Structure 1
């Protein structure tokens, strides 16, 4: 017998878009045979069909393919119709019986057993007495059973530990009453491997609604249970672990603080050694001069040198001066200051300090508010920032100084804080090398410097920070590696009406001495050291001119009113350091003899010592050693 209930033939005329078929097709589609023989539009034929896929053109599938659709007849029955392509036309088949058979097969016993065979869970059939009748292959594998025969007919509950058998029996009873039994238990496999099982028991009902058998599905959940136990254990110990970890972090933080403290002590040691050597130079030099005067019988001058030595000893407390500046405890002399006029008054000083490679741009807003601060400290701060900017642009670049009024609230500072009120912002920006994040964090630490040995003390930014904070202001630094740095000083506005005060630019310059013979310019921050050097140079036939800072020295050199025959300068000056000052002086007076003074510089870091007319003497030094160095530098000696 044919497996198809009916077979019909059809054809499609694409030029006229007509679908024609024989009487068998008409019967399957329940259409008028004559009308279908003459031809109908495909859309009309499709109006009575349902399919999950798109119909092919003219209901003619591609060669080797079929298209199926369901048609509900007038009797309410569904028919499955299959369209196939055959040579020039097509064939319509009624495959309803085949599709129903396939459906019944999927629902039949063979399919059920195939599902059981393929499952990796342990599937068991249990009779009404609770005895094992069947176990699927996946179950035999997971239960590590090589042969099911010895287990067939055994009570299922006996395979469980005694302490859990009541749960097994309770699950069976729940299924016996039409419900679902479920539990999780720990039981060994046939070979003794202990595993956790998630067990479900359901009834297999007969036609009368009563259970015929029980179906049990057991899934191995050992990994899940172990993970849950580990999580529970972790949660139980979480407080203890947090406490232990917190103690470890506290210990690590203490170690970090100790390491930072030791690093800071190392940096402070170098800086303090420099200052302390200055003091020793004043004391040793005074004692040396006293010995000379005694030998010469000039004891009436001893009190003068005793005073110098005493002042050097008493000034040991000044070692903390720069550190106090960073701690915002230095003694300032605040007065009303017009920041715009102050910056304008620094024009010549900045021009000589920056050199020709740096393009300077100064922008001053109109109607700037007055400040209440120490003008000398502010001038020194701006000069320091300009020199740092210059050093960050060895090949040249742009330096901009902008002074403007700003009003709060502002989020500024190191660290950032929100401040209210009116401020004058002095901003110094460069297009130099910039700073990375680590350098930026330490930029205001005392004695921290990225400059080579002998090129800076590392006190510039720390002193600026201390000065600004002590003046009630804030410092802000923005820097990008390869793009440049912008440092902003925020100083609070003076609200009271000030008395008219002369600005630093209006102050008189240094009084020049009467010069007879050669003139020696001494640039040294320590007064006692200046006095000792001046005495020695006077004995050697020089007229000594001593100043305390590089800014004054630059002004003297730039004035052109004084011929300088010898420059004696400390390397560790604030603002322009000794090397930078010497560079400017030798640019004005080529071949000018230079004697560097330093308590910590490494001669290897000063390649210019190989040049003629340059000497280095370490602090503290004896007067004979100083005299020998000066004689070597004197032309014709």
Structure 2
């Protein structure tokens, strides 16, 4: 009796382990597994934490449902029971030594926020994990350790959030460094210094403040009530603005106490819920100004007698500050609530060419670039109404001589004014745009190189085909001149073969360019594959084992069945050529629902898709070959054994059908090609509809056909073959001439027309005009190019048909017969 009760439960992974075929696995049937392994498996299956087990010297891998949520299609469910190095090749250099340490009897390991580059959805992804490796005791194992128990948690999101927060703090610190006023950022109700710019450090003296509370770092400030004031702002959530507030401080233990006067604002910082989480401190040293004002008030009684001397003193004291205002290379100004700069420094004229007189009577919105107007209005309103500062706000200002300059602003609101400074960043912006233009030029050059390769390949193949046709025709003419007509058919067959190859080449080019004419129909791919299975087996030969895996309840898709059959056969032939010594070929269908992330990886819209995958065990492909696999005329096959258009045709067909083709391959490990096609709600027919047999219809002399074709040789051949068949034939060489006949009283049973016609209308436009007076007119379009604007993608009206050029005359005769009399 086999006892596998330890595998009971465990959700999806428990069921997967129970259903796995262990008879061919090195571990054998579960009832023979070591007790330590059985206990570990039962532990992880019944845990809701992310757990997995590496067992034995090869590290055979087991995992539970919680861990399965971190895996993508590359590893689940295929990795169950595989050796650890095969499951995790890309991170083996990191985790391999850790597993070996535990297996050798070493201590358990612990790793916090370990960086690991994992392969997910076909690409490398930076991830972070906190995990431990612990030994699983097994007396029968070497060293007494049978395996490794892994307890882990993916911390990628938390680490990235932490990194972004650190970057934002660094950016804010850089802004603080450049500000001319003193600034500090306090965090929490204890008012802990998080940031302090050089201006703040100069104010309080060279002392350590970061990470300390205001009360601890600045006891002088606490004693003078500034901490109490911070508490009020933090608790009320209301800003506090002060002007000329006295403040005494001893900058150093052996230095004298200094008396300051400060203009400052305490601005509460709120989170998304409106709760205060900190306070922004910004201000200027107003000592000189306040002392001057105090001196003026104290000296008012002596003003008349000392007026001349007092004016001189004030001028000297204000000279330094005015000189800074005058010589600054940055724009400075004081903006009022009406949007007028009441004060502006000379840098306005140096950078933008505007005089102070112009600025003081003009709203600053009149200087803005139209594209920046709306967002600047929003920032201005928030500063005036909510008191929110603007840091590194960028917009464009008009220059007096024309054009615009980019400016980066720091704007701090106080009362009903905004104190602003701006740096000219036009040169930086232009350098960035120049780099973007250079990159665009490089991409264009690469596109032109690809076009050159494409045209060169087309010319090479068509020259070969034309050479075959010309040679065959010359040989046929020579045989006729020699009086040997019986040998002519052989050369005509060679010419026809070359013509068919040219038509196939054109069709593949149209498929690659997504311009071929498709006939999409609701299709069940399972039935399509079943219908081709015998053909595929004969094509790949007996040395290759074919396996077909059909998904149950496979969705339908809207696709051109013959084109999909051609694509599948092409992939199977490529797989056969990649396995010259034989191997295994697997065709598999599946349903997929692509989310935002997976769809973006596949360059598709999110939604339901059906996949058709062909997997071989052949030579595989290098990354360089995969990157060029869909390029037209690119092939790794020897000269003469491939045109290099097969995969490009499949790619173009899939993209034109609203889908995609993806390649997964490694050298020596085989290849998988997957065609993804959008699902279609309407189901495909269970089997093709069989038309009842009808007796052949004789051609009656009363059927009249109008042929409209601008190419004289084609028009002459079509008219001649139709006349020989017994029809009455009319002809025209452009749309205008054809419409004139169609609008006459001449009876016409069928219009045969090229789509691309010279003159004022194409073939579709001519047919639409004709149906105004002949609503029941049957129409056959001849075209070598899918002109969507004319024939339409599945938008043809009833009794409108399409025949793709080039075509044989027998095909034309049969198609016209079917249109006029019905198939039969």
Structure-2-length-normalised TM-score: 0.29
RCO higher in 1 or 2 (8 Å CA, sep ≥ 6)?
1
TM-score (norm 1): 0.37
